Amino acid sequence: MTEQKDTLKPLQVGVVGCGAMATGQHIPNIIKNPRLKLKWLCDINTQMLSEKAKQYGVLHTTTNYSDVLNDTEIDFVVLATTHSLRGQFISEAAEKKKGVYVEKPMAVNSREIGDILKAVRKSGIPFCVGHNRRSSPAVKDALAVLQKYEANPKIPSWRLDRNSWLRPQIPEENHCQVLIRINDDILTWKPWSFEDGMILNEMAHFIDLANLFMGVREPVNIYVMGSSRTDFTILIGYNDGSLATLAHSGCGTLDYPKELIEITYKGAMIAVDHSMEVRVSGIEGEPFRRTYPSPDTRVRTDKKGIEAFYESARQTIQERTKQHNNEIFIGFPEKGHYAHLDQFAQCVRGLAPSPCDVLSGAKVTMMVLKAIESCKLGLPVRFGPDEYQILSL
């Protein structure tokens, strides 16, 4: 059976902000997607704008994003600017009825979150926050395994049971625990990373994943210990007593996998290791290990899963030592950038839901701000009625 081709006219797209995220992911992904046509590039750096337009064959460039929004042919805009511009841009895009794919975090304060919620809901524009990890194949498979098990948590016969019939069931037996460990290397960070810190710049991705695996459970409090720049742990309490623990370190090394997610629920363990493999224990009928190839074409190994990462890192260390080059480790996992943007394209056409809608993005952003507040205070902070009132705007 041959795959059906998309016969619809490609959607016209503009990219506002042509920095590392746009040039490393969004622009190449737009160009290779047959559903999309890149029409505009916008950035205040005129030299870079000219270089990227020539590199990607884009005819329309501007330093003023209003030129992109005023183009009647544009279907949606990918917003990859600095954090401070996003609220204003999204409100103007909503007035122009342009769909918006915005990088995280989508806002920098609660007032801006409320303004974005109202603008998007009033206009009805297609909207997506770039929490791309939820669209990676490994995360999607892990979530499917968890949801299937939650619907029918069949306990394996081999589990050790120390006379549970002699005690009443306790609430903790229904809790879900999510542990996310992030290993990073501070030497690879650019100077601006230290200004806002990694809670703001990076943790939206992982708070979003915690919420994703928690499903219908709602956050009620957040506690952070450490520095907002790096080396911190975020503890999120949910309304049924479930907990998510997010541990971030900048004192690590890139020749070891960056991200590990472990979900425990009713005797089951589901692990997502660097988006290159998923391991499942305690659930009968599920394979122990699923592996996922790296999209990096420079990877030269026949190994699969996390072993492929280790082999790729070993090769890079040898080459870098020999050639004294400054290339960071290859073998990056499939983190869902292309799939996330592709599903949003289908959302713009009305053929699929947004992969991360405005409410999901607003809740995560609000939780990031609460995490920063907790870190400054050194105390747990409540995620309660005031926050949910904003989310209901």
Closest by CA to 136, choosing from 297, 275, 289, is 275
User: According to the model, what pLDDT value does residue 322 have?
Assistant: 73
User: According to the model, what pLDDT value does residue 317 have?
Assistant: 84
Q: Where in the chain is the domain with CATH 3.40.50.720?
A: 11-132+351-357
User: According to the model, what pLDDT value does residue 124 have?
Assistant: 97
Closest by CA to 126, choosing from 29, 11, 20, 217, is 11
Q: 62 forms bridges with which residues in the sheet? A: 42
User: According to the model, what pLDDT value does residue 3 have?
Assistant: 41
DSSP 121-182: HHHT--EEE--GGGGSHHHHHHHHHHHHHHHS-PPPTTS---SGGGS---GGGG-EEEEEEE
Residues 6+ apart with CB under 8 A from 165: none
DSSP 248-307: EESB--TTS-SEEEEEEETTEEEEEETTTEEEEES-TTS-SEEE---S-TT------THH
Closest by CA to 346, choosing from 95, 99, 144, is 99
pLDDT, averaged per 10 consecutive residues of the chain (393 residues), comes to: 62 95 94 96 94 93 96 97 88 97 94 95 97 98 98 87 76 94 91 85 96 98 95 97 97 94 97 97 96 84 91 84 66 91 98 97 97 96 93 87
Closest by CA to 128, choosing from 95, 93, 178, 96, is 93
- Position 187, amino acid: L
Q: 278 forms bridges with which residues in the sheet? A: 272, 290
Q: How far apart are CA 29 and CA 39, in angstroms?
A: 14
Q: Where in the chain is the domain with CATH 3.30.360.10?
A: 134-157+168-336+365-391
Number of other residues whose CB lies within 10 A of the CB of residue 50: 13
CATH topology of domain 134-157+168-336+365-391: Dihydrodipicolinate Reductase; domain 2 (3.30.360)
Q: 291 forms bridges with which residues in the sheet? A: 277
Q: How far apart are CA 11 and CA 75, in angstroms?
A: 6
Closest by CA to 24, choosing from 383, 390, 335, is 335
Number of other residues whose CB lies within 10 A of the CB of residue 284: 11
User: According to the model, what pLDDT value does residue 4 have?
Assistant: 45
Per this entry, what is the length of the chain?
Answer: 393
User: According to the model, what pLDDT value does residue 121 have?
Assistant: 96
User: According to the model, what pLDDT value does residue 295 have?
Assistant: 85
User: According to the model, what pLDDT value does residue 1 have?
Assistant: 37
* Contact of 56 with 38, CB cutoff 8 Å: yes
Q: How far apart are CA 151 and CA 123, in angstroms?
A: 36
Q: How far apart are CA 258 and CA 131, in angstroms?
A: 17
Q: How far apart are CA 252 and CA 120, in angstroms?
A: 39
> What is the pTM assigned to this prediction?
0.93
DSSP 318-345: HHHHHH---PPP------SHHHHHHHHH
Is 3.40.50.450 the CATH classification of the domain at 11-132+351-357? Answer: no
**Rg of the chain, C-alpha, whole Å:** 22
Q: How far apart are CA 239 and CA 231, in angstroms?
A: 27
Q: How far apart are CA 96 and CA 13, in angstroms?
A: 14
